[in-house]
Amino acid sequence: MAEDQFPGWHGTTIIGVRKGGEVVIAGDGQVSLGQTVIKGTARKVRRLSPGGYDVVAGFAGSTADAFTLLERLEAKLEATPGQLARASVELAKDWRTDKYLQKLEAMLIVSDGKDLFVITGAGDVLEPEHDVTAIGSGGNFALAAARGMMDTEKSAEQVARDAMAIAADICIYTNGNLTVETITA
């Protein structure tokens, strides 16, 4: 079906901020279909605890696709306990090479409190240079805002919350209803 025939699902802003010995991942709650807000309270940031090893993950894109990826990530973490980088690379390799997974349309930000990664369907596992990363329709707005606040006295959580507020003011597919998870190394 052509994109102009069906408006498609839009939206989401997810941000990850590492500062002061902690990592905060925050996401908005808006789900849109075309120009209509379908839901304003979705939870797009989740805590995973495979084998007692805590990881926080936020997702942008198709919800069903993201849940599939989160389940796969949990399985990779169970197979490689305490090794988020290895589990992320294994997930990205599967995502890039598996015919079923290749069709998934989502991105993830994941952290164990020490590492912070963006995982994409192109086979990328990206670690941000400036301890902040963001994905989704308002991701660039949130990223720019957060980068501008990283040298202030604000905590990781306050940087994430303030950056998300700025993104919500600019991006019509992002709202101010946040889910915020904090994790320390």
Active site residues: 12
Residue with tokens 């079906």: 1
Amino acid of residue 14 = I
